[in-house]
Structure 1
Amino acid sequence: MSSPKPSTLRVGRRYRSNRLNGPYDAIVIGSGIGGLTAAACLSKLGKKVAVFEQHYTAGGFTHSYDRNGYEWDVGVHYIGDMGSEHTLGRRLFDHITDGQLKWAAMDSHYDRIYLGDRHVDLVAGPAAFAETLKAAFPGEEQAIDTYLKYLKQVSGAMPGVVLAKLMPATLTGPFRALAKRRAPAFLNRTTREVLESLTSNQDLIAVLAGQWGDNGLPPAESSFLIHALIARHYLHGGYYPIGGASEIAKTIIPVVQQGGGEVFTYADVTGIVVENGKAVGVTMADGETVRAPVVISNAGVFNTFGKLLPADAPHRVDYQSHLTRVKRSMASVCLYIGLQDTAEALNLPRTNLWLYPGADYEGQLARFWEDPEHADIPLTYISFPSAKDPSFAARYPGRATIEIVAPGPYEWYQAWADKPWGKRGEDYEAKKEAYAQRLLAKLYEKLPHLKGKVDYYELSTPLSTDYFCRYERGEIYGLDHTPDRFEQDWLRPKTRIPGLYLTGQDVLTCGVVGAMIGGLMTTVAVSGVKGLPLAKRMFVG
């Protein structure tokens, strides 16, 4: 990847110590959507918040970048529940953007699951979703109806899961025990185990689990909780931000600024300052110390407790022990593609394509890890952002974009990890090129008319994810969403260190809305009684 050129997509104010305008009520480390949500919500509660982002643009995985006359998102491929103003996700987005972020619906057939040559579409709306699956799998009507009931039951159990993370630690144990008795028995079993209790049809199971790339774990390893949340999240279709993913941070930052706060970029936090057992600020890469009574880390638990917390901080040893109980999520690569024609002329769909060799997801992954050069790619996800965004053609006339995401373990690229970004050498570029060609072949297999139309492409690896987003091994979803992960009581907004809070996807679940809810939870944990009306408004409506 070549060095980035100045971009109109960059949002946030470049950090300089003389631009600080304290004192601040709270500091947020990292401008991912969880951090921005917490900052905006606190701002609306009258708090002055400084957000520090080490990247050149704010937004974390919700940012966009442009190069060679094209624009791509890096993580916002689609978002569910944006079609109604009454859903939690939409209410929260409207709250933190003052209603300035607008949405475009994808095609009603929002996801297309390929099992080899066969494909089945996931269609928006519970009735249409069920009808399409029943037509594709005659005789499985009861299993499909029960599956939809299960999704609803998981959704109904989530307020208890959230409340348990907000209660004082002394009450958490008894409350969790009570919540477990009231929750469905399948809530935190593996996805495959639950689906196989409904049907023995492996193709149907594969289609129902066909979005497993949205959490990074195949169904035999993931908790049904995360599967159900994702499936229900998209049950009414997929949506895309008009103007591209960079509009998310662009519309949130003014809300942070309304409270006197700011979102700083090129603002590298190197440590959390702890005095007398309390978190009281952060140290910047330039040596500046910025103080605030509240420090919120959106940097992930591995960075927070493994790198940023000083060695003599209270409970640090305990937290580092906790880190051994969770695993980093799967790493991936992304191929960014530019075409010199419009999405309309190229007939690019507003449907995501999920390409699998067959229904045996776990077996395909195992064969790929064992022999990645020769085994078929176990998961290929293809997204068409320029087709999803109705403003793209006006902003980039005569251009179109495609993104392809696939598994890409950190170990494949580890040998180049100590090399400077953009200067990792010919061997690294050759390795990237070989995988890029395999992914292009997958694209042409389903859309052969695009052969010869590609003008530009570049492959991002886990090393890029580490460089830009500080996920050391390219773990875009933070922590693996296994059943064990959801048994970890310490994954909560309020830490055992006074003044230090967590936010983002590690607090609750991955995904844009999952991380946003993490931001809302952190707001409530920080503000206490003052945050309860906000929580009630968001969760109840």
Structure 2
Amino acid sequence: MIRTFDLMSTQQAQIWALVIATVVLLPIYFVLILTRWPKPRCVHPRRASSFRPDLVPKCIDTIVIGSGSGGCTCANLLAQSGQRVLLLERHEKTGGCTHSFREKKCEWDTGLHYTSKAMSLKTRRPGAIMDFLSRGKQAWTPLDEPYDEIVFPSDADTRPGRPNENSYRFISGKENTVESILNSIDPSDDLLRSRAMRYMDLCQEINNCFVALGVSRILPAWLSRILVGNRVDRLMKFAAMSVRDVQHAILNVGYTAEDLLEEGCPTAPEGPDPDPSIRRLKAVLTHPIGDYAVQPRDATFAAHGVTMTHYMGGASYTVGATQNISVKTSSLLREFGGEVFVDANVHGIIIEDGRAVGVRVSNEKMLAECTSEAEKASIVITEIRAKNVVCATSIYNLYNKLLPQNLPIVKKFRDPNKRTVRQSNGHVFLFCKIKGDATELGLPTHNLWYFNGYDLDGAFDEYFANPTEVRPPTVCKYDFATIRSSMARHSFGRLPYAMFILAASIFLISLIRYWFSLYQGHNLEKKIPWH
């Protein structure tokens, strides 16, 4: 045995050491996690209360500012790990872009238009996570096929003898989607079909790399190196490439994923693609930009790939109002000694000795009712202390409003020459109630995306140069799945006071890039010149 060991190379010894450590230590690691994790608690869904200092629990472990999907998820997981969490929301409802509101005898969902089909399956990762967060209280239902339809203006520039359609459908499965799109562009081009499949495969690899990134953050470094390998490094390299350049490399040049990593991603030429079929395919495969709101030239392929893969297996939607998501996930905080408040205006984060130790809070509703500065000054501001403070209201709010402005890190962020992030573009929502049944009106039960043209970068450039006169590049996104009746799977407005359907609903989303202060003082219904 001694002679054998002496003959072993150092590398072999290291490999055997890792194998033995994995076999022995990994079970111990997970046993410790499972035994230390608190027992499951039942969820008793209840909407958040308006902020009152006397209702704040004692001995808070973590304060989470903002109750959007990120804030609610963070607060929920911390609570289920045994912490006492306080969740603070400035508005009158929790949920951020998943909140719902009632008006004109309808209940409307807002920012959530759909999510992946996997969310409705408890055996898939998204569904399992949501089931864990809500303790099985939040149900989802798959959407019909197609789940997305992309519409472009009519364009006569096509290859001779090829289809000239302006509508493209996304259906479950990457093979089905590629076949559906190519049938509307060029059914006989097998080379373009194989490159489109290569593009979709790369999107799936990006998604798998993100999973590896998450795993690498929760496991010990030695175990992460074994299980994750070089996938995080691959992700970072793909993240440095733009959507426009990757599309050019794969669809025009014929690069593989390995070519992109070894040779680098070639820069795409400016202007629309001269090949009409490739130009159309690029535009159609760019359609997820509506979910992350960045034009192809500037968008990282990491964001694009993970978004494309998210919906590759189909889409689903909540059963009931989307407001239920935040209500059911945040209500669990109370079972672990925490609390959830709305109307909680956080004036600032308390910093002592270089770390956050609490927040200063007042009631937003009381503040809004003040008619003078003197009344505002009389509003009681409560200091709440905690071991940790989490800000889930965007990095701009954190540095510009919540942190003390004399901190060196804040001064660095406020310097445009040193800041590495930019504010994202805004969006405007329009909620329409239409008299009549959606079936009788012929309304589709899927999302419709309208683009100004196949050259999306050009459309973005024109809009940004003159945002008040030029139509946005993704003119509108019509979501028929977001407003649903309690009697229908989707497509209708929920009427809480009636047991029958009275109206159908349409939810429009559009990019917007100007300040509404331009129209201050104008009639409310005539402020914006609609195109």
TM superposition score normalised by structure 1:
0.71
Pair 1:329 & 2:406 matched: no
1:222 to 288, 293, 299: 299
Asked if the contact 1:62–1:74 (Cα under 8 Å) also holds between the matched residues in 2, the reply is yes
The residue aligned with 1:296 is 390
SS of residue paired to 1:132 = helix
Partner Cα distance (2:198, 2:432) in 1: 40
CA, structure 1 residues 177+328, in 2 after alignment: closer, same or farther (shift >3 Å)? farther
Aligned-partner residue type, residue 284 of structure 2: V
Pair 1:150 & 2:202 matched: yes
Asked if the contact 1:154–1:184 (Cα under 8 Å) also holds between the matched residues in 2, the reply is no
SS of residue paired to 2:527 = helix
The residue aligned with 1:193 is 245
Once the two structures are superposed, the pairs formed by residues 194-273 of structure 1 within 5 Å of their partners are 194-200=246-252, 201-273=278-350
Asked if the contact 1:202–1:359 (Cα under 8 Å) also holds between the matched residues in 2, the reply is yes
Asked if the contact 1:71–1:401 (Cα under 8 Å) also holds between the matched residues in 2, the reply is no
Partner Cα distance (1:195, 1:259) in 2: 48
CA drift of 1:288 comes to 0.3
Pair 1:360 & 2:455 matched: yes
1:386 to 473, 476, 483: 483
SS of residue paired to 1:193 = helix
Pair 1:309 & 2:403 matched: yes
Q: Which has the larger radius of gyration?
A: 2
Asked if the contact 2:483–2:507 (Cα under 8 Å) also holds between the matched residues in 1, the reply is no
CA, structure 1 residues 372+316, in 2 after alignment: closer, same or farther (shift >3 Å)? closer
Asked if the contact 1:43–1:259 (Cα under 8 Å) also holds between the matched residues in 2, the reply is yes
Aligned residues: 415
The residue aligned with 1:48 is 84
CA drift of 1:320 comes to 4.4
Partner Cα distance (2:344, 2:214) in 1: 31
Aligned-partner residue type, residue 403 of structure 1: F
SS of residue paired to 1:280 = strand
Partner Cα distance (1:159, 1:307) in 2: 33
Asked if the contact 1:153–1:184 (Cα under 8 Å) also holds between the matched residues in 2, the reply is no
Ranges in structure 2 where 5+ consecutive residues have no aligned partner: 1-44, 155-165, 253-277, 363-379
Partner Cα distance (1:376, 1:37) in 2: 36
Asked if the contact 1:70–1:401 (Cα under 8 Å) also holds between the matched residues in 2, the reply is no
Asked if the contact 1:83–1:239 (Cα under 8 Å) also holds between the matched residues in 2, the reply is yes
Aligned-partner residue type, residue 124 of structure 2: T
Aligned-partner residue type, residue 294 of structure 1: N
The residue aligned with 1:128 is 176
CA drift of 1:65 comes to 1.1
CA drift of 1:187 comes to 4.1
Partner Cα distance (1:376, 1:10) in 2: 42
Deviation per residue, 1:284-319 (Å, 9 max, x gap): 133100111011110111111221112344744445
The residue aligned with 1:98 is 135
Asked if the contact 1:344–1:387 (Cα under 8 Å) also holds between the matched residues in 2, the reply is no
The residue aligned with 2:122 is 85
Partner Cα distance (2:173, 2:151) in 1: 21
SS of residue paired to 1:337 = strand
Partner Cα distance (1:315, 1:371) in 2: 35
Partner Cα distance (1:373, 1:328) in 2: 19
CA drift of 1:366 comes to 2.1
Asked if the contact 1:343–1:386 (Cα under 8 Å) also holds between the matched residues in 2, the reply is no
Asked if the contact 2:413–2:419 (Cα under 8 Å) also holds between the matched residues in 1, the reply is no
Deviation per residue, 1:86-109 (Å, 9 max, x gap): 332222211111111111221220
Asked if the contact 1:70–1:400 (Cα under 8 Å) also holds between the matched residues in 2, the reply is no
CA, structure 1 residues 372+36, in 2 after alignment: closer, same or farther (shift >3 Å)? closer
CA, structure 1 residues 182+362, in 2 after alignment: closer, same or farther (shift >3 Å)? closer
CA, structure 1 residues 258+314, in 2 after alignment: closer, same or farther (shift >3 Å)? farther
Aligned-residue CA RMSD (Å): 2.9
SS of residue paired to 1:229 = helix
Asked if the contact 2:178–2:197 (Cα under 8 Å) also holds between the matched residues in 1, the reply is yes
Asked if the contact 1:124–1:237 (Cα under 8 Å) also holds between the matched residues in 2, the reply is yes
TM superposition score normalised by structure 2:
0.72
1:410 to 508, 511, 514: 514
CA, structure 1 residues 372+427, in 2 after alignment: closer, same or farther (shift >3 Å)? farther
SS of residue paired to 2:293 = coil
Deviation per residue, 1:251-305 (Å, 9 max, x gap): 1122111112111000110100112222111001331001110111101111112
CA drift of 1:340 comes to 2.5
Partner Cα distance (1:324, 1:167) in 2: 31
Partner Cα distance (1:291, 1:372) in 2: 45
Partner Cα distance (1:288, 1:258) in 2: 24
Asked if the contact 1:114–1:354 (Cα under 8 Å) also holds between the matched residues in 2, the reply is yes
Aligned-partner residue type, residue 222 of structure 1: A
Partner Cα distance (1:375, 1:302) in 2: 28
The residue aligned with 2:73 is 37
CA drift of 1:393 comes to 5.2
Partner Cα distance (2:74, 2:468) in 1: 43
Partner Cα distance (2:53, 2:289) in 1: 43
Deviation per residue, 1:184-234 (Å, 9 max, x gap): 854431001111112240100000001211111121110111111111001
CA, structure 1 residues 199+240, in 2 after alignment: closer, same or farther (shift >3 Å)? same
CA drift of 1:333 comes to 1.2
Partner Cα distance (2:354, 2:470) in 1: 52
CA, structure 1 residues 374+17, in 2 after alignment: closer, same or farther (shift >3 Å)? closer
CA, structure 1 residues 329+204, in 2 after alignment: closer, same or farther (shift >3 Å)? same
Percent sequence identity over matched residues? Answer: 26
The residue aligned with 1:444 is none
Asked if the contact 1:337–1:402 (Cα under 8 Å) also holds between the matched residues in 2, the reply is yes
Asked if the contact 2:356–2:389 (Cα under 8 Å) also holds between the matched residues in 1, the reply is yes
